[in-house]
């Protein structure tokens, strides 16, 4: 059964691992790139991710101008929300944005070590914002 607008936005605002998909742009017969990502979303706003500007994902998103993100869970019921929409901005990531994302997903004692690791190994990052236009959602426990 489909979720209400409030339910789907609340679900998407929870810290699930997202599955990002974007057109691979490599000719007929190629599947889209699909990768797991951390993401941030607040109801009514844009969804955003962090990635390297020169990463395959970053380049493909820039070329396509849009992407899809799926968030799901299996407990207590199978529920998912999928959003697709246009990129609204791509800007250099600030230390505050990196901290916000890491704090969303990691335990407090792991935030600083991860930020130090990321600063030394990930290189430059960008924040890519997407405006959700198309929504699909369901809670299969409601059937």
Count CA atoms within 13 Å of residue 24 on its CB side: 10
Distance CA 124, CA 96 (A): 14
Q: Is the pLDDT of residue 29 over 90?
A: no
DSSP string, 23-45: ---S-TTPPPEEEEE--B--TTS
Task: Give the Cα-Cα-Cα angle 111, 115, 117 (nearest 5 degrees).
Answer: 120
pLDDT score for 143: 58
pLDDT score for 25: 84
pTM: 0.93
Are 75 and 86 contacting, i.e. CB atoms less than 8 angstroms apart? no
Q: At 80, is the pLDDT very low, low, confident or very high (cuts 50, 70, 90)? A: very high
Check residue 142 and report its DSSP letter. G
């Amino acid at each position: 059964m489909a979720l209400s607008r409030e339910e789907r936005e609340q679900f998407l605002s929870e810290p699930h691992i997202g599955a990002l998909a974007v057109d691979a742009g490599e000719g007929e017969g190629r599947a889209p790139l699909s990768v797991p990502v951390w993401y941030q979303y607040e109801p009514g706003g844009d969804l955003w991710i962090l990635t390297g500007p020169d990463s395959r994902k970053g380049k493909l998103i820039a070329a396509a101008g849009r992407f899809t993100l799926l968030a799901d869970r299996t407990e207590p019921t199978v529920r998912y929300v999928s959003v697709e929409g246009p990129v609204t901005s791509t800007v250099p990531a600030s230390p505050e944005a990196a901290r916000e994302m890491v704090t969303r997903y990691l335990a407090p004692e792991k935030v600083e070590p991860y930020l130090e690791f990321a600063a030394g190994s990930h290189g430059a990052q960008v924040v890519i914002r997407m405006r959700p236009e198309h929504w699909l959602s369901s809670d299969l426990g409601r059937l």
